[in-house]
Amino acid sequence: MIMIMVDDLGWRDLACYGSTFYETPNIDRYAQSAMRFTEGYSAHPACSPTRCSVLTGQLPARSGFTSAAGHIKEKKEQEERSTGPAFYRGLGPSSVTYLDTSYYTLGEAMLDAGYATSFFGKWHLGHKPYIPEVHGFETVRGGRWHSGPPGNDPDRKFFPPWNDCETLDSNLPADTHVDDYLTDLAIDYIEDREGEPFFMCYWPYSVHAPFQSKPELIKKWQKKIDPNDPQRSPTMAAMIEVLDENIGRLMASLEKNGIADNTIVLFLSDNGGNMYNVVDGTTPTNNAPLRGGKVNSFEGGVRIPFMVRWPGVTQAGSVNDAIVSTTDLYATLLEMTGQPLRPEDHKDSVSFVPALKGEAYDREPLICDMAQFADFVGNVPNTFVRDGKWKLTRYWFDSPDRTHRHELFNLDSDIGETNDVADAHPEVTERLKPVLDQYFAQEGIKQYHPNASYDGLRVSKQWAALSSDGNAAMHNGVMTVESDQPGFGIFTPMVSRVKDAIFHFEARSTTRDAIKLQWTSTGQRKRTDAASKSSVPDKRWQEFSLPVNFRGNGTGLYLTLPEGGRVELRHMRIATPEGTVMMTYDEE
């Protein structure tokens, strides 16, 4: 059995899932021999929590691994929080930084069942001693704390020498790609088994940041860009080509060794595609028609490529719309290999073997939790429940009156989550709320709390007033800012990770008042001005495009009235100089 879990591969990043730019002939060939799920989910929109869910069969809310914290050296326990940044109304619990040895992991279950166990690639579930070797894996190459590729040179992270990774040989040619090397090792491992049953986790470092690849492949893809395709990064295309070539080599080794018809192969990603960084003047990938991406609980952050080839059971080339999750893999693999289920261990895992057999399968409501605020993607602490076509998301304590805010989407008719129908279907909202309440009422699950440090100045989902010296409100996509006090304005901490950007907006003022754009970056308290003043005409909307130059990661955008007055703003968005919109700011 081989479980392939790719890092940060988006739902549409394969040709077999609809990409019109990336080319993945080897993975597509595998897909033709497998069952392809269209509604497969990661347990979390970031890597460490999802990886933990696979190995424990528990949701991040239960395991405590609620953020991508597996690279942090300090051993931290999960704690409930009641104070935090003043912008946020509600706070989720913090995250652990390691996979505790108290868990009976999937690796241990497979080892105890008589399988030779191996781990190749990215771990990101803690520093020593919390490494694969203590979680049931006998052979380990890679498998350390690194959040991305382990190279020591920041400009060549996919290439040797390696940083703090004694399981990888650093005495390699300088142009050896880490995933090429890992695939060589995995193929050697397969050949050495000689008929012995094995369970392999092949978790490559591709396609995680930093966005680097083989120079010759990047040059190749620079010639194939379609400027009208939302997926148009030649660097990402090169990274996906490296991935695809290695999957092809791995599959070929099964054929060569005569075990392809006797080897279960699973293929999935640990979360959705990255849409908050900038590479080649655009986002690394694009998850459309899904909304959002990695580190965000919209579908683009959690819906993933998810395929299973079970020779003699799954129908080759079949497509299944059953809802399945990475958390479900533990129970499913136990049943596939004839082992008894262990519900006291894999508490949240539901076997989807009936779906693999082509039988009717209707999973109980699926829960996905994103407890952390992530300014760079606009995420506020939330949990969603997916039940059939419905997806209800709870934003904890995020209403103006500090009650929970809910959004409801019909994913059958609105896969892009553009139309919140909570008001139109209150019966669905009320039916699904208790599912969340009951889950979080279970013993041992840490709770969300109102933020005692909240300053009461939020005026929309994304903006807060700078003080109480004026009025600001968002209505029908128009932000009105009004005050008789100079310097009053609005602020948002939600800024994509873009260094050089353009802030676009339209403005009007019946009294010809000025509006000033300012910003802050990591380690910078004093605001930087884009322009001293930007006058606007009477009554008519005028578009402004002002350059923003963040010194590090952006930490805030400010729109202020230098002399007081009244200004209306709409169509606010931040984009790359090449025109890729990174974030919009018009939600009420």
Beta bridge partners of 282: 279
Cα 264 from Cα 341, distance rounded (Å)? 19
Cα 439 from Cα 365, distance rounded (Å)? 11
Q: State residue 551's pLDDT score.
A: 85
DSSP string, 455-470: -S-B-SSS-EESSSSS
Rounded alpha-carbon distances, angstroms, from residue 468 to 66, 279, 402: 35, 40, 19
Domain boundaries defined on the chain: 2-55+98-360, 464-584
Backbone φ and ψ of 50, nearest 5° = -65, -45
Q: State residue 44's pLDDT score.
A: 98
| DSSP secondary structure letter of residue 444 | T
DSSP string, 156-181: -TTSSSBSS-TTS-S-S-TT--HHHH
Beta bridge partners of 385: 367, 392
Q: What percentage of the chain has pLDDT greater than the value 90?
A: 94
Cα 300 from Cα 296, distance rounded (Å)? 8
Burial of 210 (0-12, 13-18, 19+ CB in 10 A): middle
pLDDT greater than 70 at residue 144: yes
Dihedral, 145, 146, 151, 157 alpha carbons, nearest 10: 180
Q: State residue 513's pLDDT score.
A: 85
Rounded alpha-carbon distances, angstroms, from residue 374 to 67, 122, 132, 178, 463: 10, 23, 29, 30, 15
Q: 3-state DSSP call for residue 243? A: helix
pLDDT greater than 60 at residue 228: yes
Decide if 19 contacts 207 (C-beta within 8 A): no
Cα atoms in the Cβ-side hemisphere of radius 13 Å centred on 98 = 18
Q: What class does CATH assign to 2-55+98-360?
A: alpha beta
Q: What is the pLDDT of residues 236-288, one digit of tens each?
A: 999 999 999 999 999 999 999 999 999 999 999 999 999 999 999 999 999 99
Backbone φ and ψ of 37, nearest 5° = -90, 135
Q: 3-state DSSP call for residue 219? A: helix
Cα 23 from Cα 489, distance rounded (Å)? 47
Decide if 295 contacts 273 (C-beta within 8 A): no
Helix axes 234-256, 178-193, angle to 10 degrees: 10
- Continuous H helices in 19-59: 25-32, 47-56
Cα 405 from Cα 278, distance rounded (Å)? 31
Decide if 56 contacts 103 (C-beta within 8 A): yes
Closest CA to 466 of 376, 560, 402, 587: 560
pLDDT greater than 60 at residue 435: yes
The mean per-residue pLDDT over the stretch 441-448 comes to 97
Closest CA to 29 of 247, 332, 344: 247
Decide if 516 contacts 532 (C-beta within 8 A): yes
Place of tokens 């800012």: 481
| DSSP secondary structure letter of residue 261 | G
Q: What is the pLDDT of residues 476-500, one digit of tens each?
A: 999 999 999 999 999 999 999 999 9
pLDDT greater than 60 at residue 533: no
Q: Where are the beta strands (DSSP E) in 403-447?
A: 405-410
Q: In this structure, how many other beta carbons lie within 10 angstroms of the beta carbon of residue 425?
A: 14
Q: What is the 3-state secondary structure (H, E, C) of 57-92?
A: CCCHHHHCCCCCCCCCCCCCCCCCCCCCCCCCCEEC
Q: Where are the beta strands (DSSP E) in 280-378?
A: 303-309, 318-325, 366-370
pLDDT greater than 70 at residue 535: no
Dihedral, 285, 573, 91, 130 alpha carbons, nearest 10: 20
The mean per-residue pLDDT over the stretch 192-213 comes to 96
Q: What angle do CA 547, 553, 554 make, to 5 degrees?
A: 50
Out of 3.20.20.60, 3.40.50.300, 2.60.120.260, 2.60.120.200, the CATH code matching 464-584 is 2.60.120.260
Q: What is the pLDDT of residues 353-379, one digit of tens each?
A: 999 999 999 999 999 999 999 999 999
Q: What percentage of the chain has pLDDT greater than the value 70?
A: 99
Is-cis flag, bond preceding 204, omega within 30? no
Cα 44 from Cα 46, distance rounded (Å)? 5
Q: State residue 534's pLDDT score.
A: 59
Phi-psi region of 280 (alpha: psi -120 to 50; beta: other; left: phi over 0): left
pLDDT greater than 50 at residue 587: yes
The chain-wide mean pLDDT, for the chain, equals 96
Q: State residue 537's pLDDT score.
A: 63
Decide if 293 contacts 377 (C-beta within 8 A): yes
Q: Minimum mean pLDDT among 285-294, 483-492, 503-512: which range?
A: 503-512
Task: Name the residue with higher pLDDT: 474 or 512.
Answer: 474
The mean per-residue pLDDT over the stretch 113-140 comes to 98
Decide if 179 contacts 204 (C-beta within 8 A): yes
pLDDT greater than 90 at residue 14: yes
Predicted TM-score of the model (pTM): 0.96
Q: What is the pLDDT of residues 398-420, one digit of tens each?
A: 999 999 999 999 999 999 999 99
pLDDT greater than 50 at residue 532: no
Cα 556 from Cα 537, distance rounded (Å)? 27
Question: Amino acid letter at 282?
Answer: T
Beta bridge partners of 269: 6
Question: Amino acid letter at 252?
Answer: A
Q: Minimum mean pLDDT among 4-18, 47-61, 298-312, 533-547: which range?
A: 533-547
Beta bridge partners of 3: 201, 266
Q: State residue 514's pLDDT score.
A: 87
